[in-house]
Amino acid sequence: MVFKRIKVASLIEVLLHILFWTFITLLPILIRPAAPGFRMFFSPWHLVFINFLLAIHFYLNAFLLIPEFLNKRNRPLQYSALLILSLIIIDLCIVHTQPSMAFLNQRHPFGPPPLMAHFNLLPIAAITAASFAYRYLADRSRQINNSRDITNSALVSELAFLRSQISPHFIFNVINGVVALSRLNPPAVEPTLMQLSQLLRYILYITDEEKVTMKQKTDYLGSYIDLQKMRFDDQIIVDFIFDITHPEKTIEPMLLVPFVENAFKYTSGIDSKPFIKGYLKADHSMLNFSVSNNYSPENTHTDEHHGIGLNNVKRRLDLLYPGKHSLEINQDKNNYTVNLQIQFK
């Protein structure tokens, strides 16, 4: 795919070069005066020859002299000598191929008068300056594209690493929950493991996708919340609302679960009236997600891996939805609230 894109861009550039030289060659021929005296010394073929020489000078300077002697070898004296030699050769070729000028009543053996010969310096100087400008812009464009490719490659690699972190971190927490449940409520272990198997199926087959639909996202979050309800029974009051009007809308997988996961994680550590409230709403253009819970400040630093999930999802949001998301995290003495908005692409 990249090769095809580069090939098409190269063909377009070649075509533009051909059109440019054709235009500057034909324009003087098409707009030349119709006076008979002018036509006697105006030669279209000589004009084509001049533009051919100027084109050779342009590409010689832009594709050989500047890249090789200035950019690569850093030899300005050799470059200047070769450039001057090219200018002299082109000027002599133009001067000594001038057509006969009838109004002078003779053909000068060494070309036209000096004033007429110096007239060639203007187009030669213009073409030389144009070759410098073209080489600079081409190099600058290549540098920008290389920097963009490096940046994009780094972002893709970083995003892949962040996505790979999600599943092990999530499974680690769920397994710890099942272990705790086996001690507190052994009969609930079997249905909990069945629910866990559905979540693992989601992780194996869905998180490899670049996007998941809101229906898949809702089913997954619902299964996760049901799993946690089985684990905590009636110890935590859970009130979570789903309002999805456009289930076909897509979003990056595993973006919302870290917030719900942390809500259960830190709510379970308090003694009085633990609760989790939240909602997930999605219309044709916007996703709105919110989850809030109470917690005990003493329990927020008991886990040495505290913050892996949240830091991960924050970075992924910055990479995936730059300028198209809003994340607000409000934390007071006993309550923690997350509000997230994402514009669908």
pLDDT digits (tens, 9 = 90+) for 88-146: 888 888 877 776 554 444 444 444 444 444 456 778 888 899 899 999 888 888 878 76
Is the domain of 101 the same as that of 191?
A: no
Q: How far is CA 163 from the centre of its chain?
A: 19
Is the domain of 143 the same as that of 197?
A: no
Is the domain of 280 the same as that of 172?
A: yes
> What pairs with residue 244 in β-bridges?
282
pLDDT band at 1 (very low <50, low <70, confident <90, very high): very low
Helical H segments across the chain, by residue range: 2-31, 36-41, 44-60, 76-95, 114-118, 121-184, 189-205, 214-232, 257-267, 308-320
The total of structural domains in the chain comes to 2
Is the domain of 282 the same as that of 307?
A: yes
Helix (H, G, I), strand (E, B) or coil at 113: coil
Predicted local confidence at residue 229, as pLDDT: 80
Each residue of 203-244: pLDDT tens digit? 666 655 668 889 988 988 888 888 778 777 778 889 999 999
Is the domain of 221 the same as that of 102?
A: no
Tell me which of 2 and 198 has the higher pLDDT: 198
Last residue of a domain, one of 98, 114, 149: 149
Is the domain of 19 the same as that of 130?
A: yes
Burial of 187 (0-12, 13-18, 19+ CB in 10 A): exposed
**CATH code, 162:** 3.30.565.10
Q: What is the pTM of this model?
A: 0.51
Is the domain of 102 the same as that of 167?
A: no
**CA distance to 25, 38, 64, 313, per residue, from 32 (Å):** 12, 8, 35, 68
For residues 46 and 94, give the distance between their C-alpha atoms in angstroms, rounded to a whole number: 8
Helix (H, G, I), strand (E, B) or coil at 303: coil
Is the domain of 137 the same as that of 168?
A: no
Instruction: Tell me if 289 sits within 8 A of 240, measured CB to CB.
Output: no
Packed helices 76-95 and 44-60: angle between N→C axes, nearest 10 degrees: 170
Burial of 239 (0-12, 13-18, 19+ CB in 10 A): exposed
Is the domain of 313 the same as that of 249?
A: yes
> What pairs with residue 237 in β-bridges?
275
Each residue of 259-285: pLDDT tens digit? 988 888 888 767 678 889 999 999 999
Last residue of a domain, one of 117, 149, 181: 149
Tell me: pLDDT of 318 over 80.
yes
Domain containing residue 275: 157-343
Predicted local confidence at residue 2, as pLDDT: 43
Q: Which of 308, 327, 313, 170 is nearest to 252 (CA)?
A: 313
For residues 78 and 263, give the distance between their C-alpha atoms in angstroms, rounded to a whole number: 71
Tell me: pLDDT of 199 over 90.
no
Is the domain of 108 the same as that of 164?
A: no
Q: Output Rg (C-alpha) for the chain, integer angstroms.
A: 36
Q: How far is CA 99 from the centre of its chain?
A: 55
Last residue of a domain, one of 85, 118, 149: 149
Is the domain of 99 the same as that of 195?
A: no
Please state, for a pLDDT cut of 70, what percent of the chain lies above it: 70
For residues 340 and 259, give the distance between their C-alpha atoms in angstroms, rounded to a whole number: 10
> What pairs with residue 325 in β-bridges?
342
Greatest Cα-to-Cα distance within the chain, rounded to the nearest angstrom: 117
For residues 265 and 299, give the distance between their C-alpha atoms in angstroms, rounded to a whole number: 10
Is the domain of 163 the same as that of 69?
A: no
Each residue of 11-64: pLDDT tens digit? 888 888 888 888 877 777 666 655 554 454 556 777 788 888 889 999 999 999
